[in-house]
Structure 1
Amino acid sequence: MKANEVYTKTLKFAWIKLGMGLATVLLSIILFAIVMGISVLMESEEVGMIGLLIWFAGTLLISYIINTYFGYLVKAGHVAVIAETFRTGQVPADEVNYGIRMVKSRFATSNIYFVLDRLVSGAVNQLQSAVGKVESFLDFVPGMSIIAGFAKSLIRIGLGYVDECCLGYTFYNNQQSAFKSAADGVVIYFQNWKTLLKDAAKVSLIVIIGTVVASILPVYLFVLLFKALGWFTFIGFVVGVIVGCVVRYAFIDSYILVRMMSSYMQVAPTTVISFDLYGKLSRLSGKFRELCKRAGNEISNVGMNNPYPGNMAG
């Protein structure tokens, strides 16, 4: 099944993301109206400044709660459905409930997911920084020399979704522990740089165009609306920017996710993992080293042989 078809058939997740984002915006606007209303009633600039601080902190708290308690399920559920679709060639029936069930089944508690997600994300960020500084050091990775010819933005696009790809591999290869699959997933990603960055290059133009449209159009519409209603156009500008970010997160990021996972899932099943790569990547990233250590501990706990080099834990 092609990536565009998978994206179309899993749009429910994008609409849910949009709903969560708009709910955050709406609650932020309501909170802003309340604190500013109190400021106007009290006719105090000091109260207004305090109100703005409360509004800013409240918006961050609202966003954190929504993304932490609901967003992770939606994100991981979408990844699980995409992985299953590429594994079987069919989108699971009732994909939203299927995705949530898979997440709860794969990760017994949300804490396990958060730990794994943060380890993978941290490893990706560290490796991204390392890639930007020591490209020549990574000549041992197949196709790594091609990185020098790609724009930094394309590298960020590819690396920006490696954590989702690795998370997808934990669902794709669910016969072993999630930590081991995630560690394997990172190595598989770096063993297939050439293929994955080529797809990142193809999707980059769509990303740029979509981002520009998603950023400019809402701002333009909200500024016009606020101006027509006689309200502060600056507030309209701010609301437009926020709505643009929400739209981008819901639809454009979902599209990139599907495209990058499509490339990843095409090469992952046939990739023969180079275990000497574990030690080399571990020397570049403490988070990746910790991820491998947790994977080794899980394997030891269930009585399996540890395939990771012994020096990786230290």
Structure 2
Amino acid sequence: MVLHFGKATGIYLKTMPFVLLRMGIGLLLGIVSIVYFGVIGWLAWTFVDAETISGWVAIVALLIALVLFIKAWQLLVKYVLYLVKAGHIAVIAHIVQTGEVPSNQISYGTGKVKEHFTEASALFAVDQVVKAVIKQFNRRVLSFSNLVSFVPTLKQIIEFVGRAVAIAASYIDEAIVAYMFISDEENRWKAAGDGLVLYAKSWKPVLGSTLLIVGGMYVAALVLFLALTPLASVLSGLSTTFELIGWVVVVGLVLTVYSGLLKPWVKTVVITTFLIEAQDKTPDSKTRQEIENRSEKFKELLNRAETEETTTEQSDQDSPVTPA
């Protein structure tokens, strides 16, 4: 198995503007979340303490505030954060394909997303189906765990590996999206189908390297957490409040490094590995049929590709022809 960690790391460093942008957005959202729940909690405590409202009313109000926050978060992820994430993917794919870094990569990346998808929800819809197909494909790859059920220890090991593969595979859908950005296919669903076929033909090096780097990422996060725990321990000698603040700072720093620096690096490695391993391969009907026979979601994707192609053809036929 050929590892592409060095090249991927170089590309990761070249896309640092996107990495820093995502980290900045994450920090801002973290601060907003703390302030939001802090204010809501303070208001609930104040009204209950003043006996203005009962405890049950406060609990209901907190639940409503939580639901509103989750809904707002989902909309933000779907229409804003996903656009930034997809823009970063587009830039990574461009660098892997051409070796060149766009002069204004943030503008270039978001522009490519809007060029390929009229709205963020369209990309989100494609990505959800791609994720489902990848899960079904990897589940089939590991289906041999049922054959060793008579050996409990071995079965547990294989199930553990299966869970690790599920975590690693969550990054692979981004590699398929990257392929869609550099594909000449205008039909986004067909491009996604071609990308999945290429993944099926090169899944071993892609999934293998992803497992290694995801494992390393969790180890690095754990080491960072253990290295920062003395901070909370020192503050615990002052007061319980300072100890709590110390743990919040420790967890916040670990999550910032994990989500802001490590996860984008893993994503870059997975995308780079997939695009390099798939560049000499072509989507073939045999592999496509094998996936279709084992994945209902892949059939759904192909049906959507046919529907979009038919719609495009009808639109072209209905459009007026301008006389010369």
Q: Which of 240, 257, 260 is the aligned partner of 1:250?
A: 260
Equivalent residue of 1:151, what SS? helix
Q: Output the CA distance in 1 between the equivalents of 2:247 and 2:59.
A: 20
Q: Output the CA distance in 1 between the equivalents of 2:15 and 2:231.
A: 28
Count of residue correspondences: 293
Instruction: Write out aligned runs for 1:213-232 (5 A).
Output: 213=223, 215=225, 221=231, 231=241
Q: Output the CA distance in 2 between the equivalents of 1:92 and 1:223.
A: 46
Instruction: Write out aligned runs for 1:22-171 (5 A).
Output: 22-42=27-47, 43=49, 45-133=55-143, 151-152=161-162, 154-171=164-181
Closer, same or farther: CA 264–227 of 1 in aligned 2, 3 Å: farther
Q: Output the CA distance in 1 between the equivalents of 2:68 and 2:244.
A: 20
Q: Is the 8 A contact 1:121 1:163 kept in 2?
A: yes
- In structure 1, the partner of 2:308 is 298
Matched, 1:209 2:219: yes
Greater RCO structure (CA 8 Å; 6+ sep): 2
**TM-score normalised over the length of structure 2:** 0.78
- In structure 2, the partner of 1:177 is 187
Q: Output the CA distance in 2 between the equivalents of 1:186 and 1:223.
A: 49
- In structure 1, the partner of 2:208 is 198
Structure 1 residue 232 displacement after superposition: 7.2
Where do 5+ consecutive residues of structure 2 fail to align? 1-5, 148-157, 314-324
Q: Output the CA distance in 2 between the equivalents of 1:116 and 1:18.
A: 25
The AA in structure 1 aligned to 2:193 is A
Q: Output the CA distance in 1 between the equivalents of 2:239 and 2:69.
A: 25
The AA in structure 1 aligned to 2:36 is L
Between the two proteins, what is the percent identity of the paired residues? 27
Q: Is the 8 A contact 2:198 2:278 kept in 1?
A: yes
Q: Is the 8 A contact 2:78 2:124 kept in 1?
A: no
Please, what is the CA RMSD of the aligned residues? 3.2
The AA in structure 2 aligned to 1:23 is L
Q: Output the CA distance in 2 between the equivalents of 1:237 and 1:222.
A: 5
Structure 1 residue 291 displacement after superposition: 0.8
State the structure with more CA Rg: 2
Structure 1 residue 50 displacement after superposition: 3.5
Q: Is the 8 A contact 2:187 2:305 kept in 1?
A: yes
The AA in structure 2 aligned to 1:2 is K
Q: Is the 8 A contact 1:36 1:51 kept in 2?
A: no
The AA in structure 2 aligned to 1:176 is E
Bigger drift between 87-96 and 153-162 goes to 153-162
Q: Is the 8 A contact 2:135 2:166 kept in 1?
A: no
Closer, same or farther: CA 201–31 of 1 in aligned 2, 3 Å: closer
Closer, same or farther: CA 249–111 of 1 in aligned 2, 3 Å: same
Bigger drift between 57-66 and 127-136 goes to 127-136
Deviation track 1:117-148 (CA, whole Å, cap 9, x = no partner) reads 111122223333333325899xxxxxxxxxx8
Deviation track 1:267-291 (CA, whole Å, cap 9, x = no partner) reads 2221122312222222332222111
Q: Is the 8 A contact 2:202 2:277 kept in 1?
A: yes
Equivalent residue of 1:92, what SS? coil
Q: Output the CA distance in 2 between the equivalents of 1:220 and 1:103.
A: 44
Q: Output the CA distance in 2 between the equivalents of 1:226 and 1:102.
A: 50
Closer, same or farther: CA 211–269 of 1 in aligned 2, 3 Å: same
Q: Is the 8 A contact 1:86 1:262 kept in 2?
A: yes
Where do 5+ consecutive residues of structure 1 fail to align? 138-147, 304-314
- In structure 2, the partner of 1:309 is none
**TM-score normalised over the length of structure 1:** 0.80
Q: Which of 20, 25, 32 is the aligned partner of 2:25?
A: 20
Equivalent residue of 1:231, what SS? helix
Q: Output the CA distance in 1 between the equivalents of 2:185 and 2:296.
A: 26
The AA in structure 2 aligned to 1:30 is V
Equivalent residue of 1:293, what SS? helix
